[in-house]
Structures are given as C-alpha cells and as structure tokens.
Amino acid sequence: MKLFICVVLCIFSSLALSNTSLPSNRHISVTGSAQMLAMPDIAVVYLNVESEQKSSLAAKKEVDERVNNLLNGLPDFDVDEKNVSASNISTEVRYAYNRDERDKIEGYLARRTLTVTLKNIEKLNAFMDFALRVKINAIRNIELKSSNEKQLQQEVNVLAVEHAKSRGQSLAKAFGVNLGAIYSINANSTQIHQRYGANNEGYKTSVRMANSSAKPGRYLQESMVFSASISVVFDLEL
C-alpha cells in the first residue's frame, strides 16, 4: 500500500510539473508593483435635459432649445463641438393610470443626454452653474481624467519592472546566487482609480441654484492612482 501511494504521488508530481509555466531548473519568481499619483486636469460632465408637454413635438422643441442654449455658451468655457456628445434623443408617452377606467394620456416626455469634456478643470463649477441657468435638468455624473494618462501608465509600468528586478536581485544575493536570464514575464494588471482625501471624502456633485446668493460651491478634488503589477520568472546561476 505504501509503494502504491508513493507511485501515485510521483505521477501527480510529474503531471503538475508538466503543466506549470515554471522552468525545471533553478529559478525565482517575483512580482513587482508600483503606484503613481496624479491630479486630474480634465472633467467629463454627464448631463440630462427633459421636458413634458401636451405633444411629443412640443416636448422635443423645448428640449432642443435648452440644449442649443447650452451649446451656444460652450466657447466661454473653452469647449468646442468635438468635445461634446449631444446627438441622442428619446420620447415617450406619459399615462395617467386609473384603476377602474381606461388609462389616459397625460402628456409626452422628451429626453436628451449630453456629455461635455472640459479641458480646463478650473471652470468646472462655473460650467455647472451655467448649465442650470439654461435649464439643464440634472448633472448626472462627473468623471475626472488626466491628459497625460498614457504617459503616466507607461511610467508606472517601468517602475513595476524596476521593482521586480530589484526584488529578484536582492533575493538572489541573499541566497548566494546570481540572477540569470528572464524565463517569462506576465503583466498582472494595470489600473487607474480615484483616491480621496485623508478623511476619505467622496467627490459630490451637488450644485447650487443659479439665483442663489450662497457662495460658490467647493469641490474636493481627488487624485488619480495609476498602478501596475508585473510577475517575472528569472533563472538562477551559481
């Protein structure tokens, strides 16, 4: 029975080695990681405008008028048409539901969604106030980005590679061997996410009414975190 168990274990060990991506000779597997912080300089604002009227045509015309008013004011915020998406529109019938009677048409709703990219993030608050003045119904979301996103991602990848090399060399030296050639490289992940302040506050897109006497709103701007993780397998040399 002991001999049978030993044989079975040897077979499974052989299969495991044949299926692994690791070399059969001496090697070391390390993972390097890195993070970089950057402040966003671009704001992508998602807007919604809608109108309910007695006819679908009247609802569409009012929505179009509000959108046109917004578009006409965009040059004041250094925004040109290529940084605006405002092509879609939807209409629907609004019914009054009665339990014992036939449903009646209350009106028609027209809705448009817009996306505006501000290359000058300093004008974000003024732009939101302007959008409300021209009767944009809702500011749905604000997405913060960096104009140097590709460059920053490349830089953080390089830092992750250097970290992997440094870890490999340090461990090899500790065990009295030398780091050899690279056997394999695997980029585990590259990510971009937002990092809030020390109190973990979120970016809240609350806006004041255009005719309010309150002071302009303050918006706490989070930083962006670019991260990378890379796994490397090195040969070891005596």
The pLDDT value given to residue 193: 74
Q: What is the dihedral of CA 145, 197, 132, 214, to 10 degrees?
A: -150
Helix H or strand E segment including 155: helix 149-174
Report the C-alpha gap between 47 and 44 in whole angstroms.
Answer: 10
Report the C-alpha gap between 42 and 206 in whole angstroms.
Answer: 18
Instruction: Read off φ and ψ for residue 20, nearest 5 degrees.
Output: -85, 155
Report the C-alpha gap between 86 and 59 in whole angstroms.
Answer: 17
pTM, full prediction: 0.67
Report which DSSP code applies to 123: G
Q: How many CB atoms lie within 10 A of CB 199?
A: 6
Between residues 96 and 226, which one has the greater pLDDT?
A: 226
The pLDDT value given to residue 208: 37
- Tens-digit pLDDT profile for residues 47-89: 999 999 999 999 999 999 999 999 999 999 999 889 999 888 8
Coil/strand/helix, residue 75: helix
Using the predicted structure, report yes or no on whether residue 163 has a pLDDT greater than 60: yes
Report the C-alpha gap between 180 and 187 in whole angstroms.
Answer: 20
What domains, with CATH codes, occur in the chain?
23-39+149-237 (3.30.110.170), 42-145 (3.30.70.2970)
Using the predicted structure, report yes or no on whether residue 205 has a pLDDT greater than 80: no
The pLDDT value given to residue 49: 95
The DSSP string of 156-208 is HHHHHHHHHHHHHHHHHHHTT-EEEEEEEEEEEEEEEEEE--TT---------
The pLDDT value given to residue 219: 56
| pLDDT confidence tier of residue 10, bands split at 50, 70 and 90 | very low
| pLDDT confidence tier of residue 33, bands split at 50, 70 and 90 | very high
| pLDDT confidence tier of residue 109, bands split at 50, 70 and 90 | very high
Report the C-alpha gap between 151 and 157 in whole angstroms.
Answer: 10
Which range is most confident: 20-24, 74-78, 83-87, 198-202?
Answer: 74-78
